[in-house]
Amino acid sequence: MSQPLAQPLSGIRVADFSHVMAGPFATHLLCLMGAEVIKIEPLKGDGFRNYGSNRDFDGMSPAFVAANVGKKSIALNLKDPADLEIARRIVGKSQVLVENYRPGVIDRLGLGYDAVRQFRPDIVFCSVSGYGQNSPQRNWPAIDNIVQATSGMMMLSGAEGEPPVRVGFPIVDTLTGQTAAVAILGALMQRERTGQGAYIDVSMLEASMAFMTSALTPYLVTGTALKRLGNTGYSELPTAGLFVARDGRHISLGVVQENQFVQLARLLGQDQWLADPRYATTDARRANFAAMVAELEAILVTRDAAEWERLLSEAGIPCGMVRRVDEAAQLCDPAALLDVHLPNVPISSHQGNGHVAVPNAGFRMTPGNPGTSQPPPVIDGNRDEILAWLDADD
């Protein structure tokens, strides 16, 4: 099952024992960069295949599609000796193994790191879990919203005195998957130099804490926890926040640098702000937060949000209209999306013929641009191909 060497990870094969989102998102990114990902699923398939309330998409739920395009699937019962042997053979011909079982499960199945490196000593083996393989909380169950709670993330959004606020998408799953993908890339580069494999332990908690460095590091340095700022930016400035425009839509300002404030004052016809001791410096604007906000509110309510977005952005002043996801999708460059056929799902989409758009890897590169045109696999859909490949190489 060789592939042409066109993308950075072409020629790399990944034995993917992961399920749901964090692990599959890691292998998804590797797949978009050219790796061949063999998804080893339980006989009933990855539980994410039927995720959500729309039964029309069972087997190919949007959540599953989001992290599994371009992969190949074989369904195995790893407690069955014959199926376990197939899994071992796949691992033996792979450079990377990714799993996100509860800590200890992969070892009990006979496919832990120590067992695998006996027959594939240079394996890059990545374990993804909630709290890490050796932490006191290693056996605690964890999903995205749980780690949003335990990591402190929920207490960063919202304002002081308000209830905790969950980030509105599974951010912990995706940031953990991205962290795992970066670690795997580093291990592959290390193996190129040394010939040695590596064991990678990625926890959702530690990945989240690293991702939250702009909130965590100030506490570690000063000993004081960050205040909850609601819709005000990290700068704590009144010119970096949310405002209502004439049409009732919101705009977000991000005026945090002195030259930006000068441009804002002049564009709004408020040159007197530049000499006003209440607003002349960033510290003064913080000290007179409410007064500055009140002046901005009175002006920004005089035009529609889209007009402010255009006027301010064209003047070099950071401003964006708050959009729903469906509106943001229309703003997205089509080159940042993949056109993927969705097999065996009765779907009518704006593209027609069962095709859907899926976000690409989030970056572009020349040569070796990421992406795939291959669909997500049906359960066990590549069994014959995989078994034939294993037998042919024996």
Q: How would you list the strands of the sheet with 124-129, edge to edge? A: 72-75, 36-41, 13-17, 96-99, 124-129, 198-203
For residue range 213-257, list pLDDT tens digits in order.
Answer: 999 999 999 999 989 999 999 999 999 999 999 999 999 999 999
pLDDT grade for 1, boundaries at 50, 70 and 90: low
Rounded distance, CA 27 to CA 95, Å?
13
For tokens 């061949």, the residue is 36
Residue 265 vs residue 336, higher pLDDT:
265
Whether 59 shows a pLDDT value over 70: the answer reads: yes
Local structure of 189: helix, strand or coil? helix
Residue 2 banded pLDDT, cuts 50, 70, 90: low
Band of residue 394 on the pLDDT scale cut at 50, 70, 90:
low
Name every residue whose Cβ is closer than 8 Å to that of residue 51 and which is 6 or more positions away in sequence. Answer: 61, 63, 64
Nearest to residue 271, comparing CAs of 263, 259, 282, 260? 263
Q: Is the pLDDT of residue 339 over 80?
A: yes
Per-residue confidence band for 48, with pLDDT thresholds at 50, 70 and 90: very high
- 119 and 92 in contact (C-beta within 8 Å)? yes
Q: Read off the tokens for 224.
A: 């004081």
Q: What is the pLDDT of residues 377-388, one digit of tens each?
A: 999 999 999 999
Mean pLDDT in the chain?
Answer: 94
Question: pLDDT tier at 340 (50, 70, 90 boundaries)?
Answer: confident
Q: Which residues contact 303 (CB under 8 A, 6 or more apart)?
A: 245, 246, 311
> What is the predicted pLDDT for the residue at 360?
93
Q: Are 77 and 102 in contact (CB under 8 A)?
A: no
Task: Read off the pLDDT of residues 92-141 as tens digits, 9 standing for 90 and up.
Answer: 999 999 999 999 999 999 999 999 999 999 999 999 999 999 999 999 99
Measured N-to-C along each axis, helices 171-194 and 22-32 cross at an angle, to the nearest 10 degrees, of 50
Cα torsion through 105, 102, 30, 208, rounded to 10: -160
Q: What is the mean pLDDT of residues 51-61?
A: 88
Residues 6+ apart with CB under 8 A from 45: 59, 73, 75, 379
